[in-house]
Amino acid sequence: MSPAEELATCQAALAGALGEAPTVGGAAPDPAGAAAPAGDAWLEVPAARWREACRAARDLPELGFDFLRSLAGVDRPEAGRIDVVAHLFSYRHRRALVLRTSLERAAPELDSVAQVWPAADWHERELWDLLGVRLRGHPDLRRLLLPEDWPGHPLRKDWQEPAEYRGIPTRREARATAGELAKQTYLAPRGLGRDPAGGQPDGGGGA
Amino acid sequence: MGALASYLRAIGRTVLSVGDGLAVTFSYLLRAPVTLQYPDRMRVPVIELLPERSRGMLEVDLDLCTGCAACDRACPIDCIALEVVKHAERGRLIQRFDIDLGKCMFCGLCTEACPTGAIRHSHEFEGGTGDVRALVVPFVDAPRQPAKAKQEPPPAPKPLGSILRARMPGPWDRPRPPARPEGGEHAG
Amino acid sequence: MSPELQQVGREEFVLNMGPHHPATHGVLRFVLHTDGEIMRRAVPEVGYLHRGLEKLAEAHTYAAYVPFTDRINYLESMFCNQVWSMAVERLLGLQVPRRAEYLRVIACELNRIANHCIALGSIAMDVGAYTPFVYLLREREAINDLLEALCGNRLTYHYVRIGGVAHDVDEGWQGKVRAYLDHLEPILDELHSLVGGNEILVRRLGGVAVICASDAVGWGLVGPNLRASGVDWDLRRDRPYSVYPELSFEVPVGRGEQGQVGDCYDRWTVRVAEMRQSVRLLRQALERLPAGDILAKVPRSIKPPAGEVYQPVEGARGELGLYLVSDGSPKPSRAKWRSSSFAALSIVEHLSRGLMIADLVALIASLDPIAPEVDR
Domains of chain B, by residue range, sit at 53-170
CB atoms within 10 A of CB C6: 9
Q: Can you say how many angstroms the Cα of residue A21 is from the centroid of all Cα atoms in its chain? A: 27
Report whether B120 contacts B99 (CB < 8 A).
no
The whole-angstrom separation of Cα A57 and Cα A10 is 8
Mean of pLDDT values over C227-234: 88
Q: Can you say how many angstroms the Cα of residue C22 is from the centroid of all Cα atoms in its chain? A: 19
Residue count of chain B, please give it. 188
Residues of A within 8 A of B170 (CB-CB) are 193
Mean of pLDDT values over C126-149: 88
Report whether B88 contacts B94 (CB < 8 A).
no
Whether C360 has a pLDDT exceeding 60, the answer reads: yes
> What confidence tens digit (pLDDT) does each residue in C149-165 have?
998 888 888 899 888 88
The whole-angstrom separation of Cα A78 and Cα A101 is 17
Instruction: Please tell me the distance in Å from B152's CA to the nearest CA on chain A.
Output: 31
Assigned CATH topology for domain C3-375: Cytochrome-c3 Hydrogenase; chain B (1.10.645)
Task: Report the C-alpha dihedral over residues C153, C155, C157, C158, rounded to 10 degrees.
Answer: -110
Of these ranges, A106-110, A183-187, B85-89, B154-158, the one predicted with the greatest mean pLDDT is: A106-110
> What confidence tens digit (pLDDT) does each residue in C277-306 have?
999 999 999 988 888 888 888 888 888 888
N- to C-terminal Cα separation, chain C: 50
Q: What is the model's pLDDT at position A197?
A: 43
Residues of A within 8 A of B177 (CB-CB) are 206-207
Q: Residue B121 pairs with which residues in a beta bridge?
A: B58
Mean of pLDDT values over C211-220: 88
The whole-angstrom separation of Cα A160 and Cα C154 is 35
Those residues of chain C whose CB sits closer than 8 Å to some CB in chain A are 46-47, 50, 52, 54-55, 58, 90-91, 93, 215, 217-220, 231, 233, 238-239, 305, 307-310, 312, 319, 321, 323, 325-326, 333-334, 336, 338, 342-343, 345-347, 350, 375-376
With an 8 Å Cβ cutoff, are C321 and A119 in contact?
A: no
Whether A33 has a pLDDT exceeding 80, the answer reads: no
Residue A206 included in any domain:
no
Amino acid (1-letter code) at residue B19: G
Q: What is the model's pLDDT at position C180?
A: 92
Q: What is the model's pLDDT at position A199?
A: 41
- Percent of chain B, pLDDT > 90? 0
Q: What is the model's pLDDT at position A148?
A: 85
Residue A137 included in any domain:
yes
Beta strands in B89-186 (DSSP E): 91-100, 119-121, 136-138
Mean of pLDDT values over B171-186: 53
Average pLDDT, chain C: 86
Q: What is the model's pLDDT at position B174?
A: 57
> What confidence tens digit (pLDDT) does each residue in A96-122 have?
888 889 888 888 888 888 888 888 989
Task: Report the C-alpha dihedral over residues A195, A196, A199, A200, rounded to 10 degrees.
Answer: 10
Q: What is the model's pLDDT at position C113?
A: 92
> What confidence tens digit (pLDDT) does each residue in B54-89 have?
888 888 888 888 888 888 888 888 888 888 888 878
Closest alpha carbon to C104 in C181, C171, C154, C166? C166
Residue A182 included in any domain:
no
Whether A207 has a pLDDT exceeding 50, the answer reads: no
- Residue A108 vs residues A87, A99, A177, B178, C27: alpha-carbon distances, Å: 20, 17, 46, 68, 32
Burial of C30 (0-12, 13-18, 19+ CB in 10 A): buried
Burial of C124 (0-12, 13-18, 19+ CB in 10 A): buried
**CATH code where residue A147 lies:** 3.30.460.80
With an 8 Å Cβ cutoff, are B21 and C194 in contact?
A: yes
Q: Which of A6-15, A131-140, A171-180 has the lowest mean pLDDT?
A: A171-180
The whole-angstrom separation of Cα A199 and Cα B134 is 19
User: Is beta strand A95-104 parallel, antiparallel or unpaired with respect to A81-90?
Assistant: antiparallel
Whether A32 has a pLDDT exceeding 70, the answer reads: no
CATH of the structural domain B53-170, one choice from 3.30.70.580, 3.60.20.30, 3.40.1280.10, 3.30.70.3270: 3.30.70.3270
Q: Name the strand (E) or helix (H) holding C373.
A: helix C371-375
Higher pLDDT among residues C72 and A19, named by residue? C72
Q: What is the model's pLDDT at position C110?
A: 92
CB atoms within 10 A of CB B120: 21
Q: Can you say how many angstroms the Cα of residue A57 is from the centroid of all Cα atoms in its chain? A: 21
CB atoms within 10 A of CB A160: 9
**What range defines the domain where residue A102 resides?**
3-169
The whole-angstrom separation of Cα C150 and Cα B46 is 18
Residue A82 included in any domain:
yes
Whether B170 has a pLDDT exceeding 70, the answer reads: no
Report whether A153 contacts A132 (CB < 8 A).
yes
Q: Who's near B73: CB < 8 A, 6+ residues apart?
A: B113
Judged by DSSP in three states, C13 sits in: strand
Mean of pLDDT values over C92-109: 89
CA angle C86, C87, C88 (to 5 degrees): 95
Burial of B149 (0-12, 13-18, 19+ CB in 10 A): exposed
Higher pLDDT among residues C268 and A201, named by residue? C268
Closest alpha carbon to B23 in C179, C120, C177, C193? C193
Q: In what order do the strands lie in the sheet with A23-26?
A: A23-26, A41-44, A95-104, A81-90, A67-76
Mean of pLDDT values over C57-64: 89
Q: What is the model's pLDDT at position C83?
A: 92
Domains of chain C, by residue range, sit at 3-375
The whole-angstrom separation of Cα C364 and Cα B163 is 48
Residues of B within 8 A of A178 (CB-CB) are 96, 98, 138, 140-141
With bands split at pLDDT 50, 70 and 90, how would you rate the model's confidence at A187? Answer: very low
The whole-angstrom separation of Cα C161 and Cα C66 is 7
Higher pLDDT among residues B173 and A94, named by residue? A94
Q: Which of A109-113, C30-34, C78-82, C199-203 has the lowest mean pLDDT?
A: C199-203
The whole-angstrom separation of Cα C319 and Cα B100 is 36
Respond yes or no on whether the N-terminal peptide bond of residue B153 is cis (omega within 30° of 0): yes
Torsion C20-C21-C24-C25 (CA) sign:
positive
Give backbone dihedrals phi and psi of C14, rounded to 5 degrees, phi first.
-100, 125
With bands split at pLDDT 50, 70 and 90, how would you rate the model's confidence at C8? Answer: low
Report whether C60 contacts C52 (CB < 8 A).
no
Respond yes or no on whether the N-terminal peptide bond of residue C299 is cis (omega within 30° of 0): no
Give backbone dihedrals phi and psi of A109, rounded to 5 degrees, phi first.
-140, 145
Q: Who's near B115: CB < 8 A, 6+ residues apart?
A: B66, B68, B70, B149
Judged by DSSP in three states, B147 sits in: coil
Amino acid (1-letter code) at residue C8: V
ipTM: 0.83
Amino acid (1-letter code) at residue A71: L
CA angle C29, A66, C77 (to 5 degrees): 50
Mean of pLDDT values over C41-62: 88
- Optimal mutation site among B131, B139, B176, interface A, most CBs of chain A within 10 A: B131
Report whether C262 contacts C270 (CB < 8 A).
no
Those residues of chain C whose CB sits closer than 8 Å to some CB in chain B are 60, 63-68, 70-71, 131, 138, 141, 145, 148-153, 156, 158, 166-167, 190, 193-195, 197-200, 202-203
